[in-house]
């Protein structure tokens, strides 16, 4: 009888692996290093070895496991093809599902983009628990997203579904984004974007600010200063969250989710952040009487592990 | 044996009805007036009578018809509930599917929003023929949209799916949109929006323009002048199509369609319009190596009839 599923969330430093029941209980989690050398040739064998050892340790037969889902930090085609994944060292396109399945003696394997997979995890057991129609936004070093519709991840025709960090929000932006474009959401709502915006605000006036006292301040410093009432910090986070809310209103006018879940390191700013987003989101969605729920992610770093495991259960 | 399906595209002036084969051939089409008086109480009975008369005239038995799809010019809930439809006169929420089905002696009836249904028609037999993953944009008096994913219309959790005309594209817009918001796509890419933008361009300078010679110029006048090289008209359509392309790039970063189809009265500007859109769209989608097809609608006023009929075939 199938009782278990396994999720492996692959990052540039470690792979987070979790053993879950098919009902969504995370029974055990552990990490292994990501060996990126030699174009990451060892990454999948290491994951396979870790999983096989864990099953043996617990006396779980392969027949009791639905399979293994993996979250990949890069694009994954609808057929499982991964063209490139710089964070893992993979430079040549291949099908990691097939390789890992062989290494696991034929166990079922399914791959998904990490941000999409984290979205699936939050929709399954986290901030949008039980929702079939949710959008997840990760505010970290960059901005990622995942759209769940009818319980399934929207990958789009070329795997660009949910790439909301690169929606152009400001056609007048002089600075370039990592992607080469100008004015992407990521340039305003990521940790780096918020710090950069704070520096702009500080440059525009001589008004005092606690941020001026530090040579290099962090995104957390900006949020802490804003919560303490620092005018420059407040101006920064109001603007950045207004841009994020605008992007979310675009999502509403297109796929109209029931829930939005905001996660990633920046979301540690908590309810103060969520309230700013709700305020501006309401302004941009006049047509919507009954607003969707906008909440913070609850699974933290485990969202990807949950979502990868859910992937193998058929989304 | 089921050989036929029927589509009824309801507008404020007429209802366009079509008899199609289940393979998508429009065998006959005709129109009946929309009797909006008395809160539109006669509209569904009129449609039922027209359909029953046509079936009798052609000697088609009800058993040979898959059913009747209707396109409604207003929001339609996932369960078929229509809260209000001002263009038809309907002020109180009800289920038109149920009423029409009763009037048709139990035939299957399915309702959808008219812009979404037109999208389905273009994806079935029009500009995106055979595509399961297409976005349709109507540029008319307003701007409507329809998103087809996996062959199905995206209605969203509250029926706002595909309402792309009310994406806020410009937070600095001083004028209000009909919806009460400021800076909606509709304010730049609709026929009225393009005329308004042309007037702004003319006000900004004294440069000569053929548009100054007319007291009231139309959207078609602006496009004709632009094609003839009139500088003010060119500036207008470049800007308006840039805003449209930006909205389309948002759609790509969210659901990543295979095809975009542009229809509605404004699209009569033809390939000149499509080329402008393609140019700016490419600028806003750096991450996308393999661009989607951007084409003009081909079914014209029949798109809604085709799509309504397709609705009953299970999308």
ipTM, 2 dp: 0.82
Residue A58: what pLDDT? 97
Q: Calculate mean pLDDT across residues A185-202.
A: 96
Using 50, 70 and 90 to split pLDDT, how confident is the model at B151? confident
Cross-chain residue pair B246–A158, CB shorter than 8 Å: no
Residues of chain B contacting residue A162, judged by C-beta atoms under 8 Å apart: 253-254
Mutate to test the interface with B, among A186, A253, A286, A289 (most CBs of B within 10 A): A253
Q: Hey, which residues does B70 pair with through a beta bridge? A: B8, B111
Residue A153: what pLDDT? 84
B181: nearest CA partner in chain A: A286
pLDDT at A315 over 70: no
Mutate to test the interface with A, among B119, B128, B131, B158 (most CBs of A within 10 A): B158
Check CB contact of B164 with chain A, cutoff 8 Å: yes
Chain B: give the shortest CA distance to residue A132, in Å: 9
Residue % of chain B over a pLDDT of 90: 75
pLDDT at A152 over 90: no
pLDDT in tens, A131-144: 889 999 999 888 98
Check CB contact of A116 with chain B, cutoff 8 Å: no
Residues of chain A contacting residue B158, judged by C-beta atoms under 8 Å apart: 256, 288, 290, 292
pLDDT at A161 over 90: no
From chain A residues 133-152, the ones with a CB under 8 A of any chain B CB are: 133, 145, 147, 149
Mutate to test the interface with A, among B160, B179, B187, B282 (most CBs of A within 10 A): B160
- Candidates A45, A49, A110; CA nearest to A77 is A110
Residues of chain A contacting residue B254, judged by C-beta atoms under 8 Å apart: 145, 147, 154, 156, 161-164, 167, 250-251, 254-255
Residue A16: what pLDDT? 96
Cross-chain residue pair B156–A255, CB shorter than 8 Å: yes
- Candidates A214, A216, A226; CA nearest to A269 is A226
pLDDT at A15 over 90: yes
Mutate to test the interface with A, among B243, B253, B260, B289 (most CBs of A within 10 A): B253
Residues in chain B: 315
Q: Calculate mean pLDDT across residues B295-314.
A: 94
Q: Which two tokens stand for residue A256?
A: 């109209």
pLDDT at B54 over 90: yes
Query: What SS3 state is found at A249?
Result: helix
Sorted by sequence, the CB contacts under 8 Å of residue A77 that are 6+ apart come out as A83, A155, A158, A159
Residues of chain A contacting residue B166, judged by C-beta atoms under 8 Å apart: 253, 286-287
Q: Calculate mean pLDDT across residues A251-260.
A: 93
Cross-chain residue pair B168–A290, CB shorter than 8 Å: no
Residue A19: what pLDDT? 98
Sorted by sequence, the CB contacts under 8 Å of residue B288 that are 6+ apart come out as A158, A160, B252
Residues of chain A contacting residue B130, judged by C-beta atoms under 8 Å apart: none
Residue B313: what pLDDT? 93
- Candidates A196, B240, B51; CA nearest to B43 is B51
Of B158, B250, B283, the CB nearest to A250: B250
pLDDT at A28 over 80: yes
Residues in chain A: 315
pLDDT at B160 over 80: no
Check CB contact of B160 with chain A, cutoff 8 Å: yes
Q: Which two tokens stand for residue A262?
A: 């905001």
Chain A: give the shortest CA distance to residue B147, in Å: 8
Cross-chain residue pair B164–A251, CB shorter than 8 Å: no
pTM for this structure?
A: 0.85
Q: Per mean pLDDT, which range of A292-306, B58-72, B152-166 is the poorest? A: B152-166
pLDDT in tens, B119-134: 899 999 999 888 889 9
Of A171, A242, A254, the CB nearest to B251: A254
Q: Calculate mean pLDDT across residues A40-48.
A: 96
What is the DSSP-derived secondary structure letter of residue B18? E
pLDDT in tens, B221-243: 999 999 999 999 999 999 999 99
pLDDT at B315 over 80: no
Sorted by sequence, the CB contacts under 8 Å of residue A81 that are 6+ apart come out as A93, A94, A95
pLDDT at A1 over 90: no
Q: Per mean pLDDT, which range of A52-56, A161-165, A192-196, B207-211 is the poorest? A: A161-165
How far out from the chain centre does Cα A181 lie? 21
From chain A residues 228-247, the ones with a CB under 8 A of any chain B CB are: 242, 246-247
Chain A: give the shortest CA distance to residue B24, in Å: 25
How many Cβ atoms from other residues are within 10 Å of residue B45's Cβ?
A: 13
Q: Which two tokens stand for residue B279?
A: 């140019």
Average pLDDT along chain B: 93
Residue A76: what pLDDT? 87
Sorted by sequence, the CB contacts under 8 Å of residue A275 that are 6+ apart come out as none
- Candidates A95, A28, A14; CA nearest to A309 is A28
pLDDT at B32 over 70: yes
Cross-chain residue pair A255–B161, CB shorter than 8 Å: yes
Longest dimension (CA), chain B: 68
**Of B37 and A314, the one with more pLDDT:** B37
Residue B288: what pLDDT? 80
Q: Calculate mean pLDDT across residues B241-268.
A: 95
Region for A89 from its dihedrals, namely left if φ exceeds 0, alpha if ψ lies in -120 to 50, beta otherwise: left
Using 50, 70 and 90 to split pLDDT, how confident is the model at A108? very high
């Amino acid at each position: 009888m199938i009782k278990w599923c396994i999720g492996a969330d692959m990052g540039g430093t470690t792979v987070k692996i979790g053993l879950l029941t098919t009902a969504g209980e995370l029974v055990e989690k552990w990490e292994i290093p990501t060996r990126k050398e030699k174009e990451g040739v060892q990454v999948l064998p290491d994951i396979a070895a870790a999983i096989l050892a864990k099953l043996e340790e617990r006396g779980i037969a392969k027949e009791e496991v639905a399979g293994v889902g993996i979250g990949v930090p890069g694009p994954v085609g609808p057929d499982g093809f991964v063209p490139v994944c710089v964070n893992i060292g993979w430079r040549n396109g291949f099908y990691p599902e097939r390789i890992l399945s062989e290494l696991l003696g034929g166990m079922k394997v399914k791959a998904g983009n990490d941000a999409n997979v984290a979205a699936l995890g939050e929709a399954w057991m986290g901030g949008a628990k039980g929702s079939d129609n949710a959008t997840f936004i990760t505010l970290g070093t960059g901005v990622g997203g995942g759209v769940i519709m009818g319980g399934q991840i929207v990958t789009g025709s070329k795997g660009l579904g949910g790439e909301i960090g690169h929606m152009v929000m400001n056609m007048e932006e002089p600075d370039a984004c990592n992607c080469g474009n100008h004015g992407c959401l990521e340039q305003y709502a990521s940790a780096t974007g918020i710090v950069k915006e704070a520096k702009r605000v500080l440059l525009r006036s001589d008004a005092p600010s606690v941020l001026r006292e530090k040579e290099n301040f962090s995104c957390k410093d900006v949020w802490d200063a804003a919560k303490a009432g620092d005018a420059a910090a407040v101006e920064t986070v109001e603007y950045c969250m207004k841009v994020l809310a605008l992007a979310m209103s675009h999502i509403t006018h297109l796929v109209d989710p029931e829930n939005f879940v905001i996660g990633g390191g920046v979301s540690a700013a908590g309810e103060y952040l969520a309230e700013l987003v709700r305020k501006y989101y309401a302004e941009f969605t006049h047509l919507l009487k009954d607003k969707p729920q906008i909440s913070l992610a609850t699974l933290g770093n485990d969202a990807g592990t949950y979502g990868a495991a859910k992937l193998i259960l058929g989304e």
